[in-house]
Amino acid sequence: MDATELEKKAILNRYKALYRSCKHFSKEELKFVRKAFNFANNAHKDIRRKSGEPYIFHPIAVAQIVATEIGLDATSVACALLHDVIEDTVAEEEDIRRDFGETVLKIILGLTKISGVFEYESEQAENFRRMLLTMSDDIRVILIKFADRLHNMRTLEHMQPDKRLKIASETLYLYAPLAGRLGLYNIKTEMEDLSFKFTEPEEYSKILSQMRATRFEREKFIQEFIAPLKLELMKTGLNFEIKGRTKSIYSIYRKMQAQNIPFEQVFDLFAIRIIIDIPEPYMREVLNDKQLEEVISAQRQREKDACFKIYNVITSLYHSNPNRLRDWINTPKANGYEALHTTVMSKTGRWVEVQIRTRRMDDIAERGLAAHWKYKEKSQANTFDKIVSDIRNMVAFQQNHNAEDFVNDFKLNFFTDEIYTFTPKGKMLILPKNATVLDFAYEIHGNIGNRCIGAKVNNKLVGRDYPLSNGDQVEILTSDKQQPEEEWINLVKTAKASSMIKDAIKSQKKQIAEKGYDMLVQKLKSLNIEPTHKNLSRMQLYFKINDLAAWNYAIGSGKFPLHLLDEYAKTPDLKKKKIVDSSDNKSISEVVKRLNKDMQTISSTTKNLRFEYAFCCNPIPGDAIVGFYFPEKGIEVHQIKCANAIKLMSHHGNRIVNVKWNEQKEVAFLAGIKINGADRIGIVKDITNVISAEEQINMRSVNIDSNGGIFEGTLMLYIQDTQQLEHLIEKLEKIEGVLSVIRFDTYSMAQ
């Protein structure tokens, strides 16, 4: 059998596996899926992926994820098979409309990437905005997009290094949080782990090996925890399943970073999940809507009773932490998530999180809004409609803002935990955690927000910046004399409030700028200068003004005194100067493409190329790093794990430069160390002696405080590389009384 025949057989085998996953579809639906496969297979004929595999492998894999891991309908599976045909093949829109209908075409157009329309730098952000806009019409667009992105992440090793960083960072910054917000936790977790694997391979491998080394110990602990619990739960007469779940690699890493602790000190590595089987009631066709709603309501009450019954058994066997009870059954999350979470103390002194769900709740928790297609009851539909409505409103509020501002505001508002607040009449408003009185005011109405001077929270007078908590009842106080101010943007947490404030200020500035222009025209007339475009351009050059609108605003607000024009009127005409825009995106892309032909080695002797080390993360030789090209300052070098670097890679993938450290030690780099332990006489001297004894290490600052017999300190040192730093940390850890020595970065301290 030749290579062509082998490939044909491999394609057919993959399609058969997909077909088996769709056995629950009707005959007509299976026929529709088969038709989509044949169309896609023919369209992608002779096209290959970066790995060298036939391209059709990708659409089949995406369709497999859609069918099995998300669980969507036949239309979605067909769209997954066809999602790249318009962009990557000779197939046209009319072909899809003719063979598969308007709905399929609309979804595919929503999935088709945008190219050649927007400036390159904002293209990724604009794609994301357009995708959300399409999603608000049909949720299947984003769900299929998740499947597409997940498979791309699973095969990312075949891409160039700079492309890997761009795609992985974009996934971590935008797609994984959005998947979590929509309740697709399995997909979110895998996206995070794969992104982490490609952005920080060494850290990923280190944690993975540590998890493998402790696997037997963890499994033994889980079994010992579950055994007595299982015996007690069997007495309830409920059908249940108990699962042990280990934290994902990325979530372990995040915890290590947030708390500055090593792997060994992450104690909540695992959680126990109890899933209760409550048989769904038999639905007779004769039931009307009211009767159906009553049956479902009674069923949900049975589920709730069963969950709390399990909870009582658990807390009678193990001591619970009263501050860690999370009741998302009586008050589900905005994405429809329902469960009881409690944290209990095991017999060995370890805290263990226990999650209690019914099978229906577990299905929704695992597949999020995708479960809407299965549980088409009123409450689930309302949840679906609410999230789609929130996204539609957010996109509408941001129509006049640039794409990057939109993405940042969307991330700020949509990916945060929620709090539940109430108006004086008892209407519930869901806001992001740490939302303020001003957020609440704008959530009610833009005019209320614009005139807000404070509020009564639980009958207590507070200011606009007062942070709200769960259960707060809020009465907004307003004044007709109040107008929005620029500093208000720093007081709010929601994109809706931020957008409304920006729009109101923009409107105010426009009025002031119009007033300023009128003042400028009057002044120029008094000087016998015509307000022509040519004259205004010359004045801009003379006063070094880049933005005419900003100049008009400065005049209208009194920040630019018009008497300065008297001096200009006495000056001879200025010659026109050609102003070159150094940020031209085409030239940036060309420079970066040229730089990425070879790995750029960081060296102080490199000719015609400047390197700058980002102050936010202070990279040093040995750190995994990434570079970003900026015409005005050369290549800016970040640690690859730096939060700012992840954001830059997500927004400005065209600036990524592959960089590496020079093996020669030429200069010293600034690094920070946190040290703590039991205080004693002479401890500071011992610490400084160890540092002074090391060659080529200089101290910039040493700050040590003592309180209650415990000392904490920060050391800022100039060192050569990570190997030298790790060697020093090992020596400091051996000093009597020292408990921990950890390197810190500026960005992690700020988080």
If DSSP states are collapsed to H, E and C, what string results for 616-673?
A: CCCCCCCCCEEEEEECCCEEEEEECCCHHHHHHHHHCHHHEECEEECCCCCCCEEEEE
| Calpha distance 217→269 (Å, rounded) | 12
User: How large is the average pLDDT for residues 206-213?
Assistant: 90
Q: How far is CA 190 from the centre of its chain?
A: 14
pLDDT bin (cut points 50, 70, 90) of residue 130 is low
Structure tokens at 520: 């400028």
Angle 123-124-129 from CA coordinates, rounded to 5°: 95
Mean of the per-residue pLDDT values of the chain: 81
| Residue extents of the structural domains in the chain | 3-165, 208-375, 503-569, 585-661, 669-750
- Predicted model pTM: 0.62
Helix, strand, or coil here: 596? coil
Structure tokens at 671: 């690094």
* 54-77 pLDDT tens trace: 999 999 999 999 998 888 889 999
CATH code at 669-750: 3.30.70.260
Q: Which of 186, 190, 205, 207 is nearest to 257 (CA)?
A: 207
Q: What residues are labeled active site?
A: 87-88
pLDDT of residue 59: 95
Greater model confidence, 33 or 261 = 33
User: At residue 237, does pLDDT exceed 60?
Assistant: yes
User: At residue 603, does pLDDT exceed 90?
Assistant: no
Q: Check if CATH label 3.30.460.10 holds for domain 208-375.
A: yes
Neighbours of 609 (CB within 10 A): 14
- Cα–Cα distance list, 226 to 125, 132, 231, 244 (Å): 46, 43, 9, 9
Residues 6+ apart with CB under 8 A from 114: 123, 126, 127, 130
Q: Which of 78, 146, 71, 72 is nearest to 106 (CA)?
A: 78
pLDDT of residue 588: 72
User: Which of 28-42, 279-293, 431-445, 668-682 is the least confident region?
Assistant: 279-293
pLDDT bin (cut points 50, 70, 90) of residue 368 is low
Angle 587-163-581 from CA coordinates, rounded to 5°: 15
pLDDT of residue 577: 37
pLDDT of residue 450: 93
DSSP string, 77-139: HHHHHHTTHHHHSS--HHHHHHHH-HHHHHHHHHHSPP-SSS-HHHHHHHHHHHHHHHHTT-T
Q: Could you identify the residue written with the tokens 């769904």?
A: 280
* 256-282 pLDDT tens trace: 887 778 887 776 677 899 999 988 766
pLDDT bin (cut points 50, 70, 90) of residue 441 is very high
- The CATH label, of 1.10.3210.10, 3.30.1490.270, 3.30.70.2740, 3.40.50.720, for the domain at 3-165 is 1.10.3210.10
User: At residue 550, does pLDDT exceed 60?
Assistant: yes
Q: Could you identify the residue written with the tokens 């700079």?
A: 162
User: Which of 149-163, 262-276, 280-294, 452-466 is the least confident region?
Assistant: 280-294
Q: Could you identify the residue written with the tokens 């992104």?
A: 195
DSSP string, 492-556: ---HHHHHHHHHHHHHHHHHHHHHHHHHHHHHHHHTT----HHHHHHHHHHHT-S-HHHHHHHHH
pLDDT of residue 282: 61
DSSP string, 338-366: --EEEEEE-TTS-EEEEEEEEHHHHHHHH
- pLDDT > 90 in the chain, percent: 24
Helix, strand, or coil here: 312? helix
Q: Which of 662, 665, 659 is nearest to 603 (CA)?
A: 662
Greater model confidence, 114 or 25 = 25
User: How large is the average pLDDT for residues 494-506?
Assistant: 86
